[in-house]
Structure 1
């Protein structure tokens, strides 16, 4: 597979934050008399405000905003257990060495995304798309379309690297090539993506002429 630019999801793709995400949302669910597992089954890959609107359908926007800010504070301050996903650091360093354009496109807000990215010790991208920059989050195409726009590349020449169903759908809807990594084997979206790999350690990248990069399965 070939591409000219790379658009990476953050949580579950570059950063292993599962323990933190599940801790924060499980506590939130219990505080609202909701089944934590039902909440956890819904939230992955989506903006927090999307999940809050789903589980608190009667709440007004002011109340939702208060819920969001409280949850954001918890998620931004709790980084205990966060690590880089295997192969993430080596892959991003490889892209930088090749001069390959890449961006992070996350459903997280600035405080949460930057806290997790920093804790994982990953290189900082020139382009870091967060929830604040789009009115419609994943699974809508807007986040990845904006990422491609900031890389100054057509979406169809970019590769989205994702782990969650909502993110995979977002990349597909944007018209990007899509690589699924660390994804549950039963995700229906896996039948639609261009490539499925167990993890980032399986991916090798070589530069070609005219700004293209070729991907190989290690």
Structure 2
């Protein structure tokens, strides 16, 4: 979600500065590795006494409430979601955020809520572990031999998608081109304004067009 559908970077920076000061950890240290990873996984390393889902759900629920005006949609995200929904194509959000965070941001930006959702609470291990994308695949009801496409911006998420057996488009929205390429996605684009749905078959198989791809195929 974050970095792929919405950009809440400014809000997240303020959020982690508040949390960092609260737990006595330099916020800049947290921010160096936090994007794309679950808050609970960061807290397990930095402040184990705070690493509970109850605490994480509470602190993430406050993010959209306190910093709602700090987030914007990623270019092309709304149009692509509307195309998928109109065509009844299967799609899901698989995120390192908690349910309160996801629903909070989607409500603030008036973006559609997915029928299928995988959050931080859904799996034991977060990205780059592939469990979240394997669960998303399962919840979509797709067969084991289906072709599933992941849209990701963080190296941890790209690695998780690839390890789950998916094709991955890497977006250069939150990390440098070099960091995205190093995670080895199948394609790299700047944002979702480069991705357009051309058709969707009765079996849910979608044909996409990439324009202005930064890298057409990562070797």
Q: TM-score, normalised by structure 1?
A: 0.86
Structure 2 unmatched runs, 5+: 212-219
Q: 1:179 aligns with which of 166, 169, 172?
A: 169
2:33 counterpart (38, 42, 47): 42
Shift of the 69–124 alpha-carbon distance from structure 1 to 2, 3 Å rule, reads closer
Distance 2:37 2:82 in 1: 27
Match of 1:217 in 2: 210
**Whole-angstrom CA distance in 2 between matches of 1:73 and 1:80:** 15
Supply the distance in 1 between the matched residues of 2:135 and 2:75 (Cα, whole angstroms). 27
In the aligned structure 1, how far is the partner of 2:168 from the partner of 2:25?
Answer: 34
Deviation at 1:35, TM superposition (A): 2.2
Q: Residue 157 in 1 paired to residue 147 in 2?
A: yes
Give the counterpart of 1:19 among 3, 10, 15: 10
Normalised TM-score (structure 2): 0.85
- Once residues 38 and 28 of structure 1 are traced to their aligned partners in structure 2, the CA distance between those partners, rounded to angstroms, is 12
Structure 2 match to 1:64:
51
Residue 83 of structure 1: aligned partner: 72
What is the distance in 1 between the residues matched to 2:82 and 2:155?
A: 27
Bigger shift: 183-192 or 116-125? 183-192
Q: Is 2:155 aligned against 1:168? A: no
Distance 1:208 1:12 in 2: 25
Q: Which residue, 176, 184, 189 being the options, matches 1:192?
A: 184
Please point out which of 118, 121, 124 is paired with 2:113: 124
Q: Comparing both chains, which one has the higher relative contact order based on Cα–Cα distances under 8 Å and sequence gaps of 6 or more? A: 1
**TM-fit CA distance, 1:69:** 5.0
1:190 Cα offset (Å):
4.2
Q: Note the C-alpha offset of 1:91.
A: 0.7
Q: Shift of the alpha carbon at 1:80?
A: 2.8
177-186 or 38-47, which moves further after superposition?
177-186
Residue equivalent to 1:104? 93
Unpaired stretches in structure 1, ≥5 consecutive residues: 1-9
**Aligned residue in 1 for 2:216:** none
